[in-house]
Structure 1
Amino acid sequence: MAKTAQEKADLKAEKLYEKTHKKKYRTRPGDMLFNLINYLIFILFTVACIFPFYYLFINTISDNDLVVKGVINFIPRGLHLDNYKSLLNVSDLSNAFLVSVGRTLLGTAFMVAASAFVGYLVTKQEMWGRKFWYRFLIITMYFNAGLIPWFLNMQMLGLTNTFWAYIIPGIVAPYNIILVKTYIESIPAELEESAQIDGATHMVIFRKIIWPLSKPILATIAIFGAVGHWNSFTDSLILMQSAPTLYTLQHRLYIYLNTASNLSALMESGGQVSDAVLKSALSAKVIKYTISMVTVIPILVVYPFMQRYFEKGIMLGAVKG
């Protein structure tokens, strides 16, 4: 009898909880309107972000004459893949692609390794001049000499017209070092202390404990570095003036963009343009779209696989200041 009474009391309490719970979280018309507006804003923002890539893609697979006339806006027409095949015949484009891939892989690898090691060093209290070197790194984020002194410095170091001009200047990245340092400080100190008791050196601790546990933040800065190297073209434009074989893919895209823009401005001003030059201008416009799509594809393919590390690393790296 007591059990039955207890069950009734529990059932009554459960119904009361459900009643108050539903009443508390009942959706009101104002909430529905607010959610609807939020959804609409985010949908429009998503479309605004995706549409440029979609526009590029449909213009690369549509009839080239229609693309030149500017009639391809939403739906592709005259589907073909000849533009992507024709890229193989564009002079020095494959070499520019290899240069971009090489600088991205090597530059990112060196930057991640240096950021991880320096970030670990500046967490050690026994490091000589730790505060000075750390503050010196931070100062470089806010002050620089400018473009001309930078070029003169690269010239005096013998880095102009060489591939290493893409790699060496970006090895030390102060912002990434700060992220790694903050992340390492969030790792329990007991792990390192137990390894020190067992006789492990700092290098062993870094290689067997810190490096494996820091994969999320290292993946995060790897994304930063890879995107920066892949999209960079100003260093190629300024430093590789006498070495066209070291032009990056973005630099080649910049050249085609200027070619199409200059010829378009000439035609609009009423200048006389031969059929051959006009044909090359039209080809440059189509190639510009195609190369733009090719330069975007690697980042679009890689980012989804790195996103989970990116979110985890950037959040944990921001816990401490």
Structure 2
Amino acid sequence: MLVSRGEKWFSALNHTVLVVFSLLALAPFLHIVAQSFSNQQAVISGIVGFWPIGWNIDAYKNVLKDTAFINAFSVSVNRTVIGTLLSVGLTSLLAYPLSKSYILGRQWIQFMIVFTMLFSGGLIPTYLVVKEAGLIDTFWALIIPGAISAFNVIIMRSFFQSVPIELEESARMDGCSNIGILFRIVLPLSMPVIATIALFHGVAHWNSFFDAVLYLNKRDLHPLQMYLRDLILSNETNLETRAMEKNSAAIESLKAAALIVSTLPIVMVYPFLQRYFVKGVLIGSVKG
């Protein structure tokens, strides 16, 4: 296939623009990484750019020794793992019957699900529901209220509709139940959309902090994002006090190290799901 000179210039311009925007997006992250590995004097003087000055790992040592950080990290890991598994499971159980045209009342149920995307009860009614359910100051307040997303149900339902009906009919003739068909045939064939939904929920759980602000008063239940919020906004955390006493790392280095450590889990997981991501979103959104 011949490519004209104009198309070559246009492609080169597109690549150049994308590279520039990518570097602009990476610049703040690289600056934080450099601060986390720099010594106290370099950070305080403000000369750290995109490369560490006075390379050391004192900030990471202080962060990983902080019991509050370890507790918040474990809460976030538990929340992300349990919340994602529960959300994917419930979404699958709801989306599968909605993908079958012979289910009575399917259209009405779909209408009610879509309706929640357009109108919601609001912050105060949601809080009252969570309170009456007895979830205030419990770990499950971080998981149950947002366990199912209407948008994700629609994506998964559309993907399930693309699974050949002949496979299900063949399994049913062999005596397989609806639950068996779902777990033995449909879900194994739906890994792209499952990985996509898992990534959506996993990132949302890991980055969420507002629900913890609303529903949790116990500090030992605070997730990692609440810890980072307190670290950045407050000047009286145990981590900062210990660092100032030991004179081992600048406060800004501690904040940078905590941010980097909190980002690593999602950065490490994303490459394993990325190959499913685009396919899952496109198929789930195009199929009607």
Q: TM-score normalised to the size of structure 1?
A: 0.82
In 2 relative to 1, CA 94–56 (structure 1 residues): closer, same or farther, beyond 3 Å?
A: same
Q: Identify the residue that residue 222 of structure 2 maps to in structure 1.
A: 247
Alpha-carbon distance in 1 for matches of 2:21, 2:71? 37
* SS in structure 2 at match of 1:125: coil
CA contact (8 A) 1:259 1:284 kept: no
Alignment of 1:1-16 (within 5 A): none
Q: Identify the residue that residue 35 of structure 2 maps to in structure 1.
A: 59
Structure 1 residue runs without a partner (length 5+): 1-20, 263-275
How far is 1:74 from its partner? 2.1
- C-alpha distance after superposition, 1:259-295 (max 9, x if no partner): 25x9xxxxxxxxxxxxx89948x85433221111111
* SS in structure 2 at match of 1:170: coil
Q: Identify the residue that residue 263 of structure 2 maps to in structure 1.
A: 296
**Pick from 279, 287, 299: which aligns with 2:254?**
287
Alignment of 1:109-258 (within 5 A): 109-241=85-217, 243-258=218-233
Asked if 1:88 corresponds to 2:64, the answer is yes
Q: TM-score normalised to the size of structure 2?
A: 0.91
Q: Identify the residue that residue 234 of structure 2 maps to in structure 1.
A: 259
Q: Structure 1 stretch 67-76 or stretch 288-297: which is displaced more?
A: 67-76
Amino acid at match of 1:314: V
Higher relative contact order (CA 8 A, sep 6+): 2
In 2 relative to 1, CA 71–320 (structure 1 residues): closer, same or farther, beyond 3 Å?
A: same
How far is 1:75 from its partner? 2.1
CA contact (8 A) 2:73 2:224 kept: yes
* SS in structure 2 at match of 1:140: helix
CA contact (8 A) 2:33 2:260 kept: yes
Alpha-carbon distance in 1 for matches of 2:250, 2:67? 13
In 2 relative to 1, CA 184–68 (structure 1 residues): closer, same or farther, beyond 3 Å?
A: same
Amino acid at match of 2:136: T
How far is 1:70 from its partner? 2.1
CA contact (8 A) 2:116 2:150 kept: yes
Alpha-carbon distance in 1 for matches of 2:156, 2:16? 37
Corresponding pairs, count: 281
Structure 2 residue runs without a partner (length 5+): none
How large is the RMSD of aligned CA atoms in angstroms? 2.1
Identical positions, percent:
36
CA contact (8 A) 1:256 1:287 kept: no
Amino acid at match of 1:35: S
Alpha-carbon distance in 2 for matches of 1:113, 1:170? 13
